[in-house]
Structure 1
Amino acid sequence: MSDIIIVSGSPSDNSKSKKVLNYLGTLLEQEGFSIRHISVKDVSKDVLFEGKYDSPEIHHIATLLQESKGVIIGSPVYKGAYSGVLKTLIDLLPQDVLKHKPVLPLMTGGSPAHLLALEYALKPVLASLKAHNLKGLYFIDSQIDKQGEITIIDEDTLKRTKKQLYYFAKLAK
């Protein structure tokens, strides 16, 4: 069992949201948590496209989520919401898969204009899975360095991120 499950909703191998999620996982590992990463890219296309909610893959993901102490879930903003492939994965999971689970939602976007996608798109769907949603994190492209060891390059954003992350960690313990 992993303490924290990190779910990437990005269909891209080289996305900013995936880079930030990996960085948060590293910070949590330094705090003694075991981390497991799940990407929408890891789920078979036929399972997602054909809506195979009873597949062994979906059952395995649901079990990992249910047995974890906390979940971080992130996505880039697409058309004012989270990625469609993340929505497809979420739709296949059991209705109460995140019941009483601290969940830290995260989104990345090109500008602050899509900040509300976190509040009006991602957080409500996580709440429908019975998640204990935390405040959440939103990053714009200029705050992220995909090449560097420290992914979040804006000092104020990094401070705010660590504050949210350590609050999440406290709830997960």
Structure 2
Amino acid sequence: MSSIVALAGSPSTESRTVALLRHIAGSLDGHDVHVVPVRALPADALLGADTADPAISAVVRQVTDADGLIVASPVYKAAYSGVLKTFLDLLPANALAGKAVLPVLTGAAPVHALAVDYALRPVLAALGARHVVQGLFLIDKQIERTPDGVVLAPDVQASVDAAVDGLTSALPGVLTVRS
């Protein structure tokens, strides 16, 4: 069983991005998935780059020990969120070495899809990711929040499934066949 950390980089408690990330995490049967809302980390420690803080160090350790990572954020000003950037800056060099990583962004318009490859992917590669799989971008309106999570249109769900398959097939020593 592979361990996967799913970083939720939205500053909002009512985020479609976080709901989508939880939906993706729920589809990863057979893997140990831990969803981490970065906004829930202690703000003083996060902003002060206090990696000795127990909550911060625990999440950094989870990331460095994981086999794979999902990094999700809404797009703000043509890039991922500041709260996510603040956390990624706390990771040690090569923290993602040996890991497969799935970048997931949400935004208001298709033009924001460029942020996957031009904003988030370079940071993940700089942190040493072994394989950054094809990223996923969804327009906010494609994500319908419900009391139980999200509902996605069939074509959107197919894109999510393909992204998940890309991640799971890139995990070290994992062969995944989706039926």
Counterparts of 1:37 and 1:108, CA distance in 2: 17
Contact map agreement 1:2 1:64 (CA 8 A) in 2: no
The 1:60/1:166 distance shift into structure 2, 3 A limit, reads: same
Counterparts of 1:51 and 1:168, CA distance in 2: 29
If each structure's strand is expressed as a fraction of its own residues, which one has the higher value? 2
- Residue 62 of structure 1 corresponds to 60
| C-alpha distance after superposition, 1:134-169 (max 9, x if no partner) | 111000012111116573522222112101202211
Counterparts of 2:164 and 2:42, CA distance in 1: 30
Give the C-alpha shift of residue 133 in structure 1: 0.8
| Percent identical | 37
| C-alpha distance after superposition, 1:59-115 (max 9, x if no partner) | 221211122121101000011100011101111111111112000000000110211
Q: Which moved more, 1:35-44 or 1:140-149?
A: 140-149
Letter in 2 for 1:79: K
Counterparts of 2:138 and 2:162, CA distance in 1: 15
Letter in 2 for 1:77: V
3-state SS in 2 of match to 1:14: coil
Contact map agreement 1:97 1:129 (CA 8 A) in 2: yes
- Residue 135 of structure 1 corresponds to 134
Give the C-alpha shift of residue 129 in structure 1: 0.6
- Residue 90 of structure 1 corresponds to 88
Letter in 2 for 1:18: V
Q: How does 1:104-143 map to 2 (within 5 A)?
A: 104-131=102-129, 132-143=131-142
Counterparts of 1:99 and 1:50, CA distance in 2: 25
- Residue 12 of structure 2 corresponds to 12
- Calculate the aligned-residue CA RMSD, in Å: 1.8
- Residue 165 of structure 1 corresponds to 164
Where in structure 2 are there 5+ consecutive unaligned residues? 175-179
Counterparts of 2:2 and 2:141, CA distance in 1: 32
Contact map agreement 2:2 2:68 (CA 8 A) in 1: no
TM-score normalised to structure 2 length: 0.89
Counterparts of 1:2 and 1:166, CA distance in 2: 14
The 1:48/1:160 distance shift into structure 2, 3 A limit, reads: same
Letter in 2 for 1:25: A
Aligned length: 171
